[in-house]
């Protein structure tokens, strides 16, 4: 039996990620992406929620439902075709483990029913890295949000951005990350984040976009990750 390397603690920050079993795709269409994003919101509560409401009423707005007793605070997230990233901190003891169990179970049940499959959807337990320095934690906001650049240019980290305008436009149009929420765009999904429990690195939209652009233009995120001793 595998043992998790990271022991979670309140007041600490963690990069959580996982991918589909055997690197399989876990998001195929807009409905899949929206379901996972909705679950990021609704799973973050010690109270139970009847997922039947999601299935029977397509007009039901999940973000009108006020959750209580949150398990975690989410600072950033991003969905990719076969994996996801979440920046997170605990609010209650064992909050991360409880939240991730609810999230993974609910999405797996939805996915298996929709695609008529059985068995585990994800590649074992979710993975985690402790953001054990201020430098690394701040960097993660850029790393997570810039993952989606791979969708339009796979080699951007090695060769640099070919078309900066196209890349920035792609970031602004991609709905399945928290990037738009940091641009202060008012959308229901903004309720997923609780940035008050994270350091205030980006007090304005301008500071955030400048940070993103700096990483985007000339810094190699993979090399920085290695320099910080992460994987």
Contact 70, 89 (CB under 8 A): no
Residue 128 β-bridge partners? 16
Task: Supply the pLDDT for residue 224.
Answer: 58
Task: Supply the pLDDT for residue 231.
Answer: 44
Residues 21, 73, single domain; the answer is yes
Return the minimum-mean-pLDDT range out of 85-99, 158-172, 205-219. 205-219
Under the banding of pLDDT at 50, 70 and 90, the label for residue 141 is very high
Compute CA distances 63 → 111, 172, 185, whole Å.
21, 22, 16
Beta strands 14-19 and 127-130 are antiparallel
Task: Supply the pLDDT for residue 66.
Answer: 82
Higher-pLDDT residue of 157 and 29 is 29
Residues 171, 98, single domain; the answer is no
Q: Say yes or no to pLDDT of 133 above 70.
A: yes
Domain that holds residue 154: 134-179+199-227
Choose the final residue of a domain: 97, 114, 130.
Answer: 130
Residues 78, 155, single domain; the answer is no
Under the banding of pLDDT at 50, 70 and 90, the label for residue 62 is confident
Q: Say yes or no to pLDDT of 154 above 60.
A: yes
Closest by CA position to 112, among listed 18, 20, 39? 20
5 SS3 class: coil
Task: Supply the pLDDT for residue 127.
Answer: 95
Q: CB within 8 A of 134, min separation 6: which ones?
A: 199
Q: CB within 8 A of 6, min separation 6: which ones?
A: 14, 128, 129, 130
Run of H or E residues at 78:
strand 72-80
Residues 163 and 146: their CA atoms lie apart, in Å, by: 15
Residues 46, 81, single domain; the answer is yes
User: What φ, ψ does residue 111 adopt, rounded to 5°?
Assistant: -65, -45
In a domain, 218, yes or no: yes
In a domain, 184, yes or no: no
Question: What is the secondary structure of 174-198 as a DSSP string?
Answer: --SBSHHHHTT---GGGGGB-GGGS
In a domain, 118, yes or no: yes
Under the banding of pLDDT at 50, 70 and 90, the label for residue 223 is low
Under the banding of pLDDT at 50, 70 and 90, the label for residue 221 is low
Q: Say yes or no to pLDDT of 1 above 70.
A: no
Residues 120, 206, single domain; the answer is no
Q: Say yes or no to pLDDT of 3 above 50.
A: no
Task: Supply the pLDDT for residue 167.
Answer: 93
Residues 93, 139, single domain; the answer is no
What is the domain count for the chain? 2
Beta strands 83-90 and 72-80 are antiparallel
Higher-pLDDT residue of 117 and 56 is 117
Whether this prediction's pTM lies above 0.85 is answered by yes
Choose the final residue of a domain: 91, 114, 130.
Answer: 130
Choose the final residue of a domain: 130, 161, 188.
Answer: 130
Beta strands 14-19 and 83-90 are antiparallel
Which tens digit of pLDDT belongs to each residue from 174-211? 999 999 999 999 999 999 999 999 999 998 999 999 99
């Amino acid at each position: 039996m595998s043992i998790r390397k990271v022991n979670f603690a309140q007041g600490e920050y963690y990069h959580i990620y996982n991918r589909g079993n055997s690197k399989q795709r876990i998001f195929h269409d807009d409905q899949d992406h929206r379901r996972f994003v909705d679950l990021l919101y609704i799973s973050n509560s010690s109270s139970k929620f009847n997922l039947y409401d999601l299935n029977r009423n397509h007009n039901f707005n999940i973000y009108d439902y006020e959750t209580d007793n949150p398990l975690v605070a989410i600072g950033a997230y991003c969905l990719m075709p076969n994996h996801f990233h979440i920046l997170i901190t605990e609010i209650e003891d064992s909050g991360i483990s409880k939240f991730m169990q609810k999230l993974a179970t609910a999405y797996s049940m939805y996915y298996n029913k929709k695609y008529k499959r059985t068995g585990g959807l994800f590649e074992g337990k979710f993975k985690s890295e402790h953001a054990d320095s201020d430098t690394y934690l701040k960097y993660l906001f850029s790393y997570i949000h810039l993952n989606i650049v791979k969708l339009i240019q796979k080699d951007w980290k090695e060769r640099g951005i070919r078309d900066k305008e196209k890349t920035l436009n792609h970031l602004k149009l991609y709905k399945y990350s928290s990037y738009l929420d940091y641009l202060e765009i008012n959308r229901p999904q903004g309720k997923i984040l609780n940035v008050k429990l994270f350091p205030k690195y980006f007090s304005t939209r301008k500071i955030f976009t400048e940070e993103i652009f700096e990483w985007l233009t000339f810094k190699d995120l993979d090399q920085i990750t290695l320099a910080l001793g992460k994987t």
